[in-house]
């Protein structure tokens, strides 16, 4: 399982980042997810990716959401971004991307997690529905609301025309 989990790490880490909005918190969440997975591997028949994302999401809800880490991160978005400019992206692009995180932080949790699973992880509605234990139709409606909210927020900031 460890080898498979290792291959899954980048995707799991991106998911953690999209949930927490902070790279430091994402790596904390990732580590705790891996620890939990090693202690509680998926039951026979349950795919590891599905189980891993579910664990990650549950830890985020239990430990991070309650701390309002994301709200804190939202207030420090500019600080989070400054270390990750590689010189190739121009400043405007960095600012636009920072606005994405700020907009994500305004989404209700249930919309954020759906957008993370579909847009960041590229999961199908059914796969996301399995992870979140909700109907695929709910995924569809939450995702649409999340995208619309993001469009509105990004248009207000001028990131989208």
Partner 1 sequence: MKISDEMLSAFLDAALPEHEMEQVRQQLMHDEQLTERMADLAMVDSLVLQHYQQIDQQPMPAGVLQLLDNNEKPASANVVAFPWWRRAQQHVQQHAAAVACIALFAGYGLSQLSEQRQGTLTTLNSEVAQLLSSAPSGHSYAIAQQQFIPQLSFISQQGDFCRQYTLQDNKVQSENIACRTQDKWVLQASLSTERNLAAGNYQTATGGHALDNVLDSLMAGPALSQAAEKQYLTDRNTQ
Considering the complex, state which of residue 69 and residue 131 has its C-beta at the smaller distance from partner 1.
69
Q: Does 111 bind partner 1 (CB under 8 A)?
A: no
Rounded distance between C-alpha atoms, residue 110 and residue 82, angstroms: 29
Contact in structure between 15 and 53 (CB atoms under 8 Å): yes
Q: Provide, rounded to whole angstroms, the least separation between the CB of residue 46 and partner 1.
A: 19
Considering the complex, state which of residue 97 and residue 134 has its C-beta at the smaller distance from partner 1.
97
Q: Sign (positive/negative) of CA torsion 133, 136, 141, 147? A: positive
Q: Which helix (H) or strand (E) holds 155?
A: helix 136-157
The site map against partner 1 for 52-91 (x = CB under 8 A) is -----------x--xx-x--------------x-x-----
Q: Which of 16, 20, 24 is closest to 71 using CA atoms?
A: 20
Instruction: Give residues 28-57 in contact with partner 1 (rule: CB under 8 A).
Output: 28-32, 34-35, 38
Q: Provide, rounded to whole angstroms, the least separation between the CB of residue 32 and partner 1.
A: 7
For 89, list phi and psi in degrees, rounded to 5.
-85, 140
C-alpha angle 125-21-9 in degrees, rounded to nearest 5: 65
Q: Provide, rounded to whole angstroms, the least separation between the CB of residue 144 and partner 1.
A: 4
- C-alpha pair distances (Å), 41 with each of 9, 26, 31, 35, 46: 15, 21, 15, 10, 10
Contact footprint for partner 1 (CB under 8 A): 2-3, 5-6, 9-10, 13-14, 17-18, 23-32, 34-35, 38, 63, 66-67, 69, 84, 86, 96-97, 100-101, 104, 115-116, 118-120, 124-125, 136, 140-141, 143-144, 147-148, 150-151, 154-155, 159-160
């Amino acid at each position: 399982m460890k080898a498979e989990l290792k291959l899954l790490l980048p995707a799991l880490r991106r998911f953690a980042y999209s949930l927490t909005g902070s790279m430091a918190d994402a790596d904390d969440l990732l580590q705790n997810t891996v620890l939990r997975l090693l202690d509680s591997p998926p039951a026979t028949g349950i795919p590891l990716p599905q189980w891993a994302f579910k664990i990650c999401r549950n830890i985020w809800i239990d430990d991070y959401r309650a701390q309002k880490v994301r709200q804190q991160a939202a207030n420090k978005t500019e600080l989070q971004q400054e270390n990750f400019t590689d010189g190739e992206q121009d400043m405007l692009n960095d600012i636009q991307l920072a606005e994405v995180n700020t907009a994500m932080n305004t989404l209700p949790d249930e919309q954020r997690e759906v957008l993370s699973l579909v847009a960041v992880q590229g999961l199908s509605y059914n796969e996301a529905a399995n992870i979140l234990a909700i109907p695929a139709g709910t995924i569809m409606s939450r995702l649409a609301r999340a995208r619309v909210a993001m469009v509105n927020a990004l248009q207000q900031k001028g990131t989208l025309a």
